[in-house]
A and B are shown apart, each in its own frame.
Chain A
Amino acid sequence: MVNFAVSSEMRGDVAKIRLSGDLDSSSATLFKDAVAKLAPVPPKTLVLFMRDLNFMASAGLRILIFAKQKLGDQVNIYIVQPQEQILDTLQKTGFDQSVYIVDDDPL
């Protein structure tokens, strides 16, 4: 049973996606689909709320790469309140250098 949920909203040129549960290779498609839906009118800012995301495998990292490549390298990606272990993954893989990691909704 997939313990993962995605909800998204688009306002102007800002997209906000909330992730909760466990993001692994079996659930990553839901996240990828949510990002792909933004592609026709790419946002300038993508805000990912991760406070309620309890687990993230490399499948989640691949979607972040997909987001940059699909939405354009000009899109700014914010990650809000990642849990300690997920922050560790972002740092070990250098992803923290390409996204903004923040404590609050930036917009």
Chain B
Amino acid sequence: MESFALNARKFPGSLTSLADIRHYISQVAQHAGLDKHTVYKLCLAVDEIVTNIVVHGYGASRASGDIFISTQVTDASLSVVVEDEGPPFDPHAFKLPSDKDLKKPLDSRQPGGLGVLLAFESVDKLLYERIGNRNKNIFIVNRQTEKS
């Protein structure tokens, strides 16, 4: 099975890094042969989790820190690993908006939770681990275009 890891990258834990991170992910995903729609969704998923890290992780703890991103491509999938040193945050433990919430008119909506929902909806798998002082979010996208 073909498998190769691309260089890990470090970005400042700031919202101003979002565009650079999307650009990096987009390049990797295109290199892996993913179609435009899948590339966009992967970028969206990573963007949402990184935003949470910056705003609710580093921001809430008044700490500065970096975002570490590495990628791995196999015949079957592309994995993007996003690590940070903020407080523990498991997106799987987060209460997502319910179907009922998503049917509410906008004027009675709560703005929270949509980002994590989009992150889960936009990739094939989103895994989480806490290792030492690091959160590790792993985004996995199947390389369907390669198989077809």
Scoring B residues 32 to 61 as 1 if CB is less than 8 Å from chain A, else 0, what string do you get? 000001001101100110010011000000
A57 contacts B106, C-beta separation under 8 Å: no
- A2, A62, A85, A99 interface centre (most CB from chain B within 10 Å): A85
What 8 pairs between A and B have smallest CB-CB spacing? A94-B102, A26-B15, A73-B107, A58-B115, A68-B106, A58-B114, A62-B111, A98-B106
Q: A26-B15, A65-B111, A93-B118 are in contact. Are A57 and B105 (CB under 8 A)?
A: no
B51 contacts A57, C-beta separation under 8 Å: yes
* Chain A residues numbered 25-75 whose CB sits less than 8 Å from any CB in chain B: 25-26, 55, 57-59, 61-62, 64-69, 72-73
**B134 / chain A contacts, CB cutoff of 8 Å:** none
Chain B contributes a number of interface residues (CB within 8 A of A) equal to 29
A22 to B15, CA, bound (A): 13
A-B contacts at CB below 8 angstroms, number? 87
**A99 / chain B contacts, CB cutoff of 8 Å:** 106
A1 within 8 A of B: yes
Chain B, Cβ-Cβ closest to A56: B44
A24 to B109, CA, bound (A): 20
* Chain A residues numbered 80-107 whose CB sits less than 8 Å from any CB in chain B: 84-85, 88-89, 92-95, 97-99
Binding site for B on A (CB under 8 A): 1-3, 22, 24-26, 55, 57-59, 61-62, 64-69, 72-73, 77, 84-85, 88-89, 92-95, 97-99
**A26 / chain B contacts, CB cutoff of 8 Å:** 15-16, 18-19
B28 within 8 A of A: no
